[in-house]
Amino acid sequence: MEGKFEPLVLAFCCNYCPSCSADLAGSAKMQYPSNIRIIKVPCIGTVGTIHILKALENGADGVCLMGCLEGKCEYSSGNYRARKRVQYVKNLLGKLSIEKERLEIYNISAAEARKFCEIAREVTETVRSLGPIPLKIDNSKI
């Protein structure tokens, strides 16, 4: 009997607010799914199209970007650039017949540990309902 599908979700988190909210959630012993793998980045504006696509190609079933609140970016406009980039990649995914819901972007402040946990649960449930991504590469054949 096969087990229930458990997705792998990669979360690119800005080193400022979202990473702090994740750390606060951990300190407060709040629970969020272990399916989330956090990658701290200086700003989500530094996450390129290639990073998102490679994450999906190399095993992530879903990707989310978590940045500072709009207008509060430490790098001025990084989260605006990231929002445009996410929309661009969603359009690419649609053209590849891959569900756009596998990619999302969120804005979160440093004090919102509870919101971080809610987002992590929401993303995990969404990706779980979509099933495994059909894009994974079997590197053993390369």
Going from N- to C-terminal start, the domains of the chain cover 9-133
Q: What is the pLDDT of residue 22?
A: 86
CA distance 30 to 114: 8
Q: What integer pLDDT is reported at residue 73 of this predicted model?
A: 83
Long-range contacts at 25-28 (CB < 8 A, ≥ 24 apart): 25/113, 25/114, 25/116, 25/117, 28/113
Whole-angstrom distance, CA of residue 74 vs CA of residue 135: 34
If pLDDT is split at 50, 70 and 90, which confidence band does 64 have? very high
* pLDDT tens digits along 71-120: 888 888 888 999 999 999 999 999 999 999 999 999 999 889 899 999 99
% of the chain residues with pLDDT over 70: 92
Which pLDDT does position 136 carry in this prediction? Answer: 61
Residue 140 in this model has a pLDDT that exceeds 60: no
pLDDT of residue 141: 47
Rg (CA), the chain: 15
- Cα separation of 81 and 77, whole Å? 6
Sign of the Cα pseudo-torsion (17, 21, 24, 26, in order):
negative
Which of 3.30.1360, 3.40.50, 3.30.160, 3.30.360 is the CATH number of 9-133?
3.40.50
The mean pLDDT value of the chain amounts to 89
pTM of the full structure: 0.88
Rounded CA gap, 81 and 115, in Å?
23
Distance CA 14, CA 28 (A): 20
Q: Report residue 3's pLDDT band, with 50, 70 and 90 as the boundaries.
A: low
Residue 1: per-residue pLDDT? 41
Structure tokens at 65: 């970007």
